[in-house]
Amino acid sequence: MDSKLPYYMAYPMPLLYDDEKIEKRDFEYMKSMYPMTAKRILPYVEEECDRMEYTGSVIYDEYPDQLQIRMMCNRVYDKVKDMADSEEELWGDPQEGAMWGEMRGEMQGDPPGDPQRNPRRNPQRDRLRDLIQVLLFQELFRRRNDHRRRRRRFY
């Protein structure tokens, strides 16, 4: 009387764990729709996140340290600034190039300090830095989510 069930009946929900694939595909599609400037900056952000991705890293803390995040943004900013100086002709169409040229000019003339304390600092000069921060925060969020998923234990 004790007959074995066929495999497909023993495990009736084969697509139960397909959500991660769908999320990853959706995320990659959304990244493909980024503006060209963001697409050019994204590899540097991912490289910095790869460098900081290890067991016990500050990026996996419950509340990541703002100073460490700012330092990560500054490292990405420095790499992007160096790359923009060395590869000027690779920056795409004239409209995008003009915007990037404005950002490059701002990068070279940026006085150090906080905008509230330094009256010479123009808040519009920080557009590139803001873009880098947003890309970094989004990448950190995605990696922290993936880390939580992998860390889950089902007892």
Domain that holds residue 130: 65-88+124-145
Q: pLDDT digit string (tens) for 48-75?
A: 999 999 888 899 999 999 999 999 999 9
In a domain, 78, yes or no: yes
Q: Which of 41, 31, 45, 21 is nearest to 53 (CA)?
A: 45
pLDDT-based confidence at 19, cuts 50/70/90? confident
What type of residue is 37?
A: T
Q: Distance of CA 134 to CAs 69, 102, 120, 153, Å? A: 11, 19, 24, 31
Burial of 103 (0-12, 13-18, 19+ CB in 10 A): buried
Who has greater pLDDT, 141 or 1? Answer: 141
pTM for the whole thing?
0.67
Whether 97 is in a domain gets the answer no
Instruction: Answer with the residue of higher pLDDT: 114 or 78.
Output: 78
**Would residue 104 count as lying in a domain?**
no
The total number of structural domains in the chain stands at 1
**How do residues 138-152 score in pLDDT, each as one tens digit?**
999 999 988 888 876
- pLDDT at residue 89 above 50? no
